[in-house]
Amino acid sequence: MFVRPDDDPRTEGGFVGERDTLVGYLRDQRLTWEMKCAGPDAEAMARRSVGPSNLSLLGLVRHLAGVEQTWFRRVMAGRDVPRHHRSEDAPNGDFDGAVPDAAVVAEAWATWRSEVAFAERFVDEARDFDVTGTDGDEPVPLREVLVHMIEEYARHNGHADFLRERIDGRVGQ
């Protein structure tokens, strides 16, 4: 177990209404992500799963920062900002640039936390979940983005289980 049940910051569900349910489940998935990544040093955070995969906890932190940025800052808020860790020349930069360096790890977490804070502010200020952003030419409602983000974190939390088991044997939660 990562934490004792009494110390677990996540809820046990019981949300009422659409806003509380979507925001609550996303918050819990983000907390789960942080719990699964807590503790390893830079070398362990950058350790790849198995060759030829470039999957690592650090790569996933960088990837999730980019996912948060894309959906909330770029699509929903309509901001034209450069992508984190990725470019046309480095389409897999989030994973390929996940190197065992404490400064890279710290920057990745700071970027992720900044994007999560932006997303939380955006959602808090949204009048409802029918607010739309634009992905290409397609309108995308905030409701759909929140469901997608819950799914995104759930999938990567599963990846983190396998990575942590390989790193130090920790599993679950």
pLDDT along the chain (173 residues), means of 10: 70 84 94 91 94 93 98 97 93 95 98 98 96 94 98 95 90 71
CB 94 within 8 A of CB 59: yes
**Cα–Cα dist 165/54, whole Å:** 17
For β-strands 132-135 and 138-141, DSSP reports them as antiparallel
Determine which helix (DSSP H) or strand (DSSP E) holds 135, and give its type and residue range. strand 132-135
Q: Report the candidate in 50, 63, 70 with the shortest Cα–Cα distance to residue 96.
A: 63
Question: In this structure, what DSSP letter does residue 146 have?
Answer: H
CATH architecture for the domain at 16-168: Up-down Bundle (1.20)
The whole-model pTM stands at: 0.91
pLDDT digits 0-9 by tens, 80-121: 999 999 999 999 999 999 999 999 999 999 999 999 999 999
pLDDT at 74 (0 to 100): 97
What confidence score (pLDDT) does residue 173 get?
66
Residue 51 to residue 110: CA distance in whole angstroms = 28
Residue ranges covered by each domain of the chain = 16-168
pLDDT for 2: 67
